[in-house]
Amino acid sequence: MGKRLGFEWLVALRFLREGRMQTLLIIVGVAAGVAVVAYISALIGGLQASTLTKTLGAQGHITLRSPQDVVQSARLAEPGVMALTETQPRAQRLRSVVNWQLLLPVLEAMPEISDVSPMVSGSGLALRGEAQQSIALLGVELDRYDRIVGLRSKVVAGVARLAPGEGIVGRELADDLGVRVGDRFSLQTGAVTESVRVTALVDLGVRDLNRRTVIVPLRAAQNLLGLPGGVTNLDIKLHDVWTAQKLAEDLRARYPYKVESWQENNAQLVSALNAQSVSTGIIRSVVMIVVVLGIASVLVVSVVQKGREIGILRAMGTTRAQILRVFLLQGAVVGVLGSALGILIAVGLIAAFTYFVKGADGQPLFNITLPWDTGLKVALLASVCGVLAAIAPARRAAAMDPAQAIRL
């Protein structure tokens, strides 16, 4: 190809070198566009990943529960007859997921699912001395639950351990109760009260969760909440969080349980993420259009400036196709050089963001990196845009009448 396009390469590079200020400006323009696109992609990617990690860090990707109690109509209405009924909704009680012990291995065997954790959850009171706090009681098998939410990584004091009579509490709740690791407090649910020794304090990333979370062994929670042998829900973790919705629908169709994906439980967050993605897409598109127009306008000017030279080349026997390729190559060179420079600028911007923008704890707000494949895609896209931008000027150059061009 080098040999075949040797003439075109030579002429294209010389034309670019001849108008070096013009060339430099448009390369910087392309670089600025590529840098903005790459930086925004990395920034929004990092922000969304951070938001998702924080959100999904305290919950399963799919939650499977027992269906709610509903009042069934005594008799179906006759066809064509509208029955006006008024039904009082039933008060919901804690119910176990039926046959959860059998369901667990079935779920674990599914290829999309990485982990399943049975849980008993309910409400209660934490009591210590005069302190009394309303709490969310979670009964779990520690190892399974740790694989779902990474509990051990959130321990801020003590060691995560759940032997009988032990419990893990949120950091703020510990402050409210005035307990430290090793201290005891009482858990009360209805008529049952149990004493729990704190083995670890955790920071779940959300202060409100820290203020009301108490995690105890599964069996202890079953006793406290009056659900012997039962679990209120199965938390499911997936290999790919974005498959949650589809798998939840599949499970709903297959089993008589209430199955909810994290998207359904966090509809507002998903909407926000979607809006963010759409906005980013629009910004990226507009920037790329500006890049294309920039390259095209410079090449159009170049075609006019180089009119006589194009005429001479055509008179010497240069074909229309060769002239076309000369200008397409110029677009490609500008696109590739601009892309390379743009990616370097984006990396610099990311480094500056990480260095200068920090949270109250002195740490970067969130992890922001430019994945190599994103950088490569943006660079490729800009290079292709360079060639596309050159099409119209190149066609114009190729169509020039040599006699007229020489007279210019």
Partner 1 sequence: MKQAQAATTLIALKGIHKSYNLGLPSQTEVLHGIDLQVARGEFVALMGPSGSGKSTLLNILGLLEPMTTGSYQLQGEEMRGLDDAGLTLRRRQTLGFVFQFHHLLPAFTALENVTLPAMMIHGQVSAQQLQHARDLLADVGLAGAEHKRPAELSGGMQQRVAIARAVVLNPPLVLADEPTGNLDQAASSDVFALLRRLHAERGISFLVVTHDAHLAARCDRLLELVDGKLHSDTVTVN
Site string for partner 1, 186-225 (x = CB under 8 A): ----------------------------------------
Whichever of 203 and 309 has its CB closer to partner 1, that residue is: 309
406 in contact with partner 1 (CB under 8 A): yes
SS3 165: coil
Q: Are strands 131-140 and 213-217 parallel, antiparallel or unpaired?
A: parallel
- DSSP per-residue letters across 57-100: TTS-SEEEEPPPP-PPPSSPPPTT-------PPPPP---PPTTH
5 in contact with partner 1 (CB under 8 A): yes
Q: Which of 211, 314, 325, 396 binds partner 1 (CB under 8 A)?
A: 314
408 in contact with partner 1 (CB under 8 A): no
**CB of 167 closer than 8 Å to CB of 213:** no
Least distance to partner 1 from the beta carbon of 396, Å? Answer: 15
> Rounded to 5 degrees, what are φ and ψ at 381?
-60, -45
Least distance to partner 1 from the beta carbon of 313, Å? Answer: 8
Length of the chain in residues, anyone? 408
325 in contact with partner 1 (CB under 8 A): no
- The sign one gets for the Cα dihedral 260, 262, 268, 270 is negative
Least distance to partner 1 from the beta carbon of 304, Å? Answer: 16
Whichever of 171 and 306 has its CB closer to partner 1, that residue is: 306
319 in contact with partner 1 (CB under 8 A): yes
Q: Which of 322, 344, 374, 388 binds partner 1 (CB under 8 A)?
A: 322
**Per-residue DSSP letter, 219:** H
Q: Which of 25, 98, 315, 357 binds partner 1 (CB under 8 A)?
A: 315
Q: What is the Cα–Cα distance from 266 to 63, expressed in whole angstroms?
A: 12
304 in contact with partner 1 (CB under 8 A): no
Site residues (CB under 8 A) for partner 1, limited to 11-50: 14-15, 17-18
Region of 129 on the Ramachandran plot (φ > 0 left; ψ -120 to 50 alpha; else beta): left
Instruction: Determine the size of the site formed for partner 1 (CB under 8 A).
Output: 26
318 in contact with partner 1 (CB under 8 A): yes
Q: Which two tokens stand for residue 331?
A: 């677009």
CA distances for 328 relative to 165, 227, 379, 393, angstroms: 75, 73, 17, 9
Whichever of 85 and 319 has its CB closer to partner 1, that residue is: 319
- DSSP per-residue letters across 185-197: EEEEETTEEEEEE
Least distance to partner 1 from the beta carbon of 323, Å? Answer: 10
Q: Which of 214, 313, 336, 397 binds partner 1 (CB under 8 A)?
A: 313
**CB of 167 closer than 8 Å to CB of 216:** yes
Whichever of 6 and 150 has its CB closer to partner 1, that residue is: 6
Applying CB under 8 A, which residues contact partner 1? 3-7, 10, 14-15, 17-18, 308-309, 312-320, 322, 401-403, 406
